[in-house]
A and B are shown apart, each in its own frame.
Chain A
Amino acid sequence: DIQMTQSSSSFSVSLGDRVTITCKASEDIYNRLAWYQQKPGNAPRLLISGATSLETGVPSRFSGSGSGKDYTLSITSLQTEDVATYYCQQYWSTLTFGAGTKLELK
């Protein structure tokens, strides 16, 4: 199975920061990558599919980029409601998720 590595399990952020979360696949996943946001007590919410396509209703401060094995979720000007855990998921082959990156306020 393809392993998905999110380089940071957590990091501290401040409101207004630009935040970059990375996800690396163990092999090329041809942009078959989704990003999810999960807040405590809630189910994950789909933010981005196809590595770069923002889902309807997701604020435009979220964006996705990358290709091959390396992908990034960016948040410009972090808002309070963005404090959450973010997961990547590849769907090029047997579906697998990254371990998550938790954003915490400084």
Chain B
Amino acid sequence: DVKLVESGGGLVKPGGSLKLSCAASGFTFSSYTMSWVRQTPEKRLEWVATISSGGSYTYYPDSVKGRFTISRDNAKNTLYLQMSSLKSEDTAMYYCTRDPGGNSHYFDYWGQGTTLTVSS
């Protein structure tokens, strides 16, 4: 079975940094594009970042571009999200997700999420 397990969330002060991890199992991790999606306290879902299967290509919305960096270690079956210059509006549950492949960027598997709170 596909399993995605996030870790690394916590409480961070504005302007601070944090790195999230996602351990993947149950599928050939290196064959899939992966993404992070967050859900705000108001329950709004927002796409945060996407990385190609080999790691060569990354994509971000303007809201996090230049502050967040998505990366992966295919040898360790692990996805990462390095977040810096954090703002209160980054407070959310962060989900690791799998892109089903091809030219379709939706999310067929989700982890259970890890919570980030940005507050002084």
Contact = CB atoms under 8 A, between A and B. Distances in A.
A50 B104 contact: yes
Chain A contact-residue range equals 20 to 34
A100 B61 CA distance: 20
A18 interface: no
Contacts of A94: 47, 61
A44 B110 contact: yes
Interface in B79-120: 95, 100, 104-113
A85 B107 CA distance: 17
B100 A95 contact: no
B43 A96 contact: no
A99 B51 CA distance: 25
A91 B110 contact: no
Interface in A74-101: 85, 87, 89, 91, 94-97, 99-100
Given A43-B95, A43-B110, A91 B45 contact: no
Chain B contact-residue range equals 10 to 19
B45 A43 contact: no
A43 B108 CA distance: 11
A27 interface: no
A22 interface: no
Contact of B111 (A43, A46, A87): A43
A69 interface: no
B44 interface: yes
Given A85-B43, A89-B45, A97-B45, A45 B104 contact: no
B112 A91 contact: no
7 closest A-B pairs by CB? A43-B110, A34-B106, A95-B47, A97-B45, A91-B105, A46-B108, A91-B106
Interface of B: 43-47, 61, 95, 100, 104-113
